[in-house]
C-alpha cells in the first residue's frame, strides 16, 4: 500500500503528518525512523482496541520499507507509569499485569507477523541516560510558567493536587520517553504531551515529534441513549488500552476472554448510525478485523469498509453480520 493511502485511511486515521513530512524525516536520518505507540493497562484484560495501534505501527513500518526506508517500530508497555497511579501495595500486582500485557503484545506480534520491537518502561527508566534527560526536562519546565501550566493540563483536574505532591512525575516520564521519537501513534487526547515535547525540541533546535492520531475507541453493546447522554464521548471516546475505562469492561471486546456468543450479543445490541460524525464501534471493530486479515493474508490493500457503509452499499444489519464473522475468524479464534 502507498503511504498516502495508509495515513488517510477513513475510519482509521484522524490526523496525520503529510506524506512529504514523513518521507523527508525518514530520508534525513542516519538512524532508523522511530515509529512509536505506548500504553498502560488495567486488570480487566487486553483490548481489541489496542490491537488497532499495534497493527498500524507495523503497517506504517512495512509501508516505509517498500519505499526503501529503515524503521524501528516500537510498542511500549509503560509498566512503571501504570504503577505510579496505584497504591504501593498494588505495585507488585501491576508489574505482573505488565508481564501479561507484554505477553499479549508478543502473541499478537507473532500471530500476525508484525515485526514490532516490544519494550517495557522498566527496562530503561532507571538508566542514567533517561534520568539525565528527564531531569533536564523538569528543570526547563519548572523555570517556565507556561510550560508548567501545560504540564498541569496533562492531568485530570481532580488529580492535580495529588500530582503536584508527586512532582508530576508521570507526565515527565511520558515527555522524556517521547521527545526523541519521529512518529508517535496514539489517541487524540495525547496531544497534550506531544505539544510539550514539540516545544522543548524547538527550543533545543531538534526535529520535533510528529503525531499521528487514530480514531477514538468506543464501547460496544450500548444504545443511542448512552452516547446521547455522555457529553464529549464523540470527541474522545474511551481509553483504548484500558478495558475498564469508564467502568465499561462488560462492553469491550477482549481477545482471550470474550466468547463468540458474547461478542455477537454486543455487536447486535450496538448503536449504529449512517451519520459519519457519530460513534460507530461496530465499524471500528470491522476495520480492526480488516487490519488483522491483511496481515494474516499478506494482502496490504486499502480498507474500503468505511466508504462502503456510509455510501449505503452495506446496510447496518449486514455490517453487524459481517463484523461478527470477521471478528470470530480473524481475531477471537486466534486467542
Average pLDDT (200-206) is: 93
Domain ranges of the chain: 1-335
Residue 149 CB burial class (10 angstroms; 0-12, 13-18, ≥19) = exposed
pLDDT category of residue 140 using cuts at 50, 70 and 90: very high
Fold observed for domain 1-335: Rossmann fold (3.40.50)
**Average pLDDT of the residues of the chain:** 94
- What pLDDT does 299 receive? 87
| 157-190: b (≥16 Cβ within 10 Å) or e | eeeeeebeeeebebbbbbbbbbbebbbbbbbbeb
- What pLDDT does 86 receive? 84
pLDDT category of residue 230 using cuts at 50, 70 and 90: confident
SS3 106: helix
Closest of 281, 299, 174, 170 to residue 220, by C-alpha: 281
What pTM, to 2 d.p., does this model score? 0.95
Distances (CA, A) of 46 to 42, 155, 203, 231: 9, 24, 38, 26
Written as nine digits, the cell of 113 is 507477523
Q: Terminus-to-terminus CA distance in the chain, angstroms?
A: 28
- What pLDDT does 222 receive? 94
- The beta strands (E) that lie in 121-205 are given as 183-186
Distances (CA, A) of 332 to 25, 27, 89, 258, 335: 37, 39, 34, 8, 6
Residue 1 pLDDT > 90 = no
- The answer to whether residues 77 and 118 touch, using CB atoms and an 8 Å cutoff, is yes
Residue 148 pLDDT > 90 = yes
Task: State the residue for C-alpha cell 453493546.
Answer: 221
- What pLDDT does 156 receive? 82
Residue 276 pLDDT > 90 = yes
Residue 301 CB burial class (10 angstroms; 0-12, 13-18, ≥19) = exposed
SS3 205: coil
Residue 151 pLDDT > 90 = yes
* 146: phi then psi, degrees, rounded to nearest 5: -65, -45
Question: Between 85 and 297, whose confidence is greater?
Answer: 297
SS3 34: strand
Residue 133 CB burial class (10 angstroms; 0-12, 13-18, ≥19) = middle
pLDDT category of residue 304 using cuts at 50, 70 and 90: very high
- What pLDDT does 246 receive? 92
Amino acid at each position: 500500500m502507498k503511504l498516502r493511502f495508509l495515513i488517510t485511511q477513513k475510519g482509521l486515521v484522524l490526523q496525520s503528518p503529510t506524506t512529504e513530512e514523513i518521507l523527508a524525516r525518514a530520508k534525513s536520518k542516519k538512524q532508523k525512523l522511530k515509529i512509536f505507540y505506548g500504553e498502560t493497562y488495567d486488570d480487566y484484560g487486553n483490548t481489541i482496541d489496542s490491537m488497532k495501534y499495534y497493527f498500524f505501527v507495523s503497517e506504517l513500518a512495512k509501508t516505509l520499507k517498500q519505499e526503501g526506508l529503515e524503521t524501528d517500530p516500537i510498542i511500549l508497555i509503560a509498566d512503571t507509569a501504570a504503577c505510579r497511579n496505584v497504591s504501593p501495595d498494588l505495585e507488585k500486582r501491576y508489574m505482573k499485569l505488565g508481564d501479561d500485557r507484554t505477553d499479549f503484545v508478543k502473541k499478537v506480534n507473532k500471530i500476525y507477523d508484525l515485526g514490532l520491537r516490544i519494550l517495557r518502561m522498566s527496562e530503561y527508566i532507571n538508566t542514567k541516560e533517561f534520568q539525565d534527560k528527564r531531569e533536564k526536562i523538569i528543570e526547563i519546565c519548572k523555570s517556565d510558567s507556561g510550560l508548567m501550566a501545560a504540564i498541569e493540563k496533562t492531568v485530570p483536574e481532580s488529580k492535580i493536587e495529588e500530582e503536584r505532591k508527586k512532582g508530576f512525575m508521570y507526565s515527565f516520564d511520558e515527555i522524556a520517553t517521547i521527545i526523541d521519537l519521529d512518529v508517535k501513534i496514539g489517541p487524540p487526547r495525547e496531544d497534550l504531551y506531544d505539544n510539550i515535547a514539540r516545544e522543548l525540541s524547538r527550543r533545543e533546535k531538534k526535529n520535533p515529534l510528529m503525531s499521528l492520531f487514530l480514531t477514538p475507541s468506543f464501547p460496544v453493546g450500548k444504545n443511542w441513549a448512552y452516547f446521547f447522554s455522555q457529553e464529549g464521548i464523540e470527541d474522545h471516546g474511551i481509553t483504548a488500552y484500558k478495558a475498564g475505562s469508564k467502568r465499561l469492561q462488560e462492553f469491550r471486546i477482549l481477545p482471550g476472554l470474550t466468547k463468540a456468543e458474547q461478542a455477537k450479543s454486543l455487536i447486535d445490541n450496538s448503536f449504529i448510525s449512517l451519520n459519519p460524525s457519530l460513534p460507530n464501534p461496530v465499524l471500528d471493530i470491522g476495520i480492526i478485523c480488516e487490519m488483522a486479515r491483511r496481515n494474516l493474508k499478506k494482502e496490504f490493500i486499502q480498507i474500503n469498509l468505511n466508504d462502503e457503509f456510509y455510501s449505503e452499499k452495506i446496510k447496518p444489519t449486514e455490517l453487524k453480520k459481517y463484523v461478527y464473522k470477521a471478528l470470530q475468524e480473524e481475531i477471537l479464534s486466534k486467542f
